[in-house]
Chain A
Amino acid sequence: MTAFLLVGSRPLEEPERSPAMAARDAAALTTWHRGLRRWGLLSSFAVPDEDGHGAETAPRLCLVVQVSGADAARRLAARWEGLGGYSVTVLALREVADEGGCAAERRAS
């Protein structure tokens, strides 16, 4: 399994969204995230500051997922894009032993 970082951004000009549409999108995303957890694909995530500082610029959300490869990561990204109006960038993560941490290497978007 390989770790990938999925970075979700929103367009600067958000499309008009009714409360009903927001609820529909939120429910769909909840189900999707629940699925990621159930299948052990979601390692961690980061969400924006509640006050929205800097939230007007990308990125909005980060997910670290463990999947079989780049294709699987891209499929997840495509699904995520279809659910909440995000534009998703996929970054492969690899261990950098001498730095003792993780570094992101851009593979695809």
Chain B
Amino acid sequence: MTGPSETSGPSEQTEPKEATQAVLGSLFREEWPRLIGAALRITGDLQAAEDVAAETLVAALDRWPLTGLPDRPGAWLMTVCRNRALNVLRANTRARRAQESITAAALADHGVMTEPIPDDRLRLIVLCCHRLLSLDAQVALTLRMIGGLTTAEIGRGFHLPPATIAQRIVRAKRMLKEHGVNFADDDLDPRGRLPSVLDVIYLIFNEGYLATAGDSLVRGELAFEAYCLACLLTELTPAEAEPWALRALISFQVSRWATRTDDDGELLTLDVQDRSKWNTQLIGDGVLALERARSGGERGSLLLQAELAACHATAPDFGATDWSTIVGLYDELAAIQDTPVVALNRAVAIAMRDGPAAGIALLDDLTGDETLCDSHRVWSIRADLHGRMGNTCAAIADYDQAMLRVTNDAERRHLAAARRRLAGDSRERQEGDHAAR
């Protein structure tokens, strides 16, 4: 244990606690995957790397409040992390009592201490999204190793006990170890595995943006995490178009975050959201990201989804939404991704452009679709369109079907309220007719 023997410490800092926390939060968050990557390169073991990275943050936590921030905090963290990883490696080597044990001198000769530190974050992301692992495991591992979320935080995001998440992470690490997946040499060009990384980030975003179950419509931590991961991916692979498209899509969607629910947590649809509260900074980021994505030339699914999100995010008001362009984009999307969900959204766009009757005709075909039969969406949309056409009985029947299928409590309340309004209007009309007679 070392340290000054008098109160001479850092110069008195004057920034408030919140500012210190923001600076450190951003620094720790950014450095976390770098630290894990560096430790993993040395130890070759994901669990050991995670432990070393965590110890490094604790070392900073011990020292920095007393000694002040070092001149280059990131470099300080990296040095501490690598030294501790080397300590682990030496301890393991001693434990194995291998004749060819790597001595400190050999390590120095090997250049571990002196070579420039490679940025291993992309390699780490790709490792977390390894095809050997299930999608659930990929998501949990990515959130822990790249995002730095604790198992409790991940569990909260997915409405699962922390023990379940911890188990997924442990199994994933074991699986990679058992299959001898070597971090440093596994894939010389990790960009080839970007599609699986994009899938994982997209899934995290979807779960965060529209929770499939539970009492909350949105889960800020997960959607924010997906945004950060998309930003990191574009930083690491700036020449690839698809990550930019994903970043644009998430930016546009998250820009509406504050207005998607009211003060009571009830769902607010696009037509009633207060657009003055949309986050213009995120919309701006989305526009720039979309331009980068377009320059890739290929119009893939992510780019088209981002274009669709841009149509909504950049419309000054709901009435100004360019539904013709949206229908065109859905046509394009359906040509490369002919799924019932795309067909459903396209039907809504057509209903908005040509009137509810045109949408209902398309939805009738979708109510029997196997993929959608357990989803409330086709029923709730049809109910809304019937309501707009004045077909109250059909609308109420569809709302009933939707409520049988919905799993998110906030959406259930929204559907129930819409049904009540419709039934109330209908009753008032009947009473009015009766009184008139």
Contact = CB atoms under 8 A, between A and B. Distances in A.
Given A45-B66, A61-B66, A22 B58 contact: yes
Interface in A23-43: 23-34, 37-38, 42-43
A25 B21 CA distance: 8
SS of B interface (majority): helix
Given A17-B54, A19-B32, A45-B4, A51 B63 contact: no
A97 interface: no
Given A22-B28, A42-B7, A47 B67 contact: yes
SS of A interface (majority): mixed
B17 interface: yes
B63 A84 contact: no
Contacts of A52: 55, 59, 80, 83-84, 87
A26 B61 contact: yes
Interface string B13-27: 100011011101101
Interface residues of A, number: 42
B151 interface: yes
A37 B9 CA distance: 9
Contacts of A10: 58
A22 B30 CA distance: 13
Contacts of B55: 14, 52
A69 interface: no
Contacts of B60: 22, 26
Interface string B38-59: 0000000000000000110111
A34 to B, nearest CB: 7
Given A28-B17, A30-B17, A44-B6, A22 B83 contact: no
Interface in B309-324: none
Given A30-B20, A30-B65, A31-B20, A19 B6 contact: no
A47 B61 contact: no
Nearest to B83: A51
Given A10-B58, A46-B3, A34 B12 contact: yes
B62 A20 contact: no
B148 interface: yes
B20 A27 contact: yes
Nearest to B80: A50
A26 B150 contact: no
A20 B3 contact: no
Interface of B: 1-7, 9, 12-13, 17-18, 20-22, 24-25, 27-29, 31-32, 54-55, 57-67, 76, 79-80, 83-84, 87, 148-153
Given A19-B31, A20-B25, 17 more contacts: A14-B58, A16-B151, A26-B24, A26-B65, A27-B17, A30-B65, A31-B20, A44-B4, A44-B5, A46-B4, A47-B63, A48-B1, A48-B2, A48-B62, A50-B59, A50-B79, A52-B55
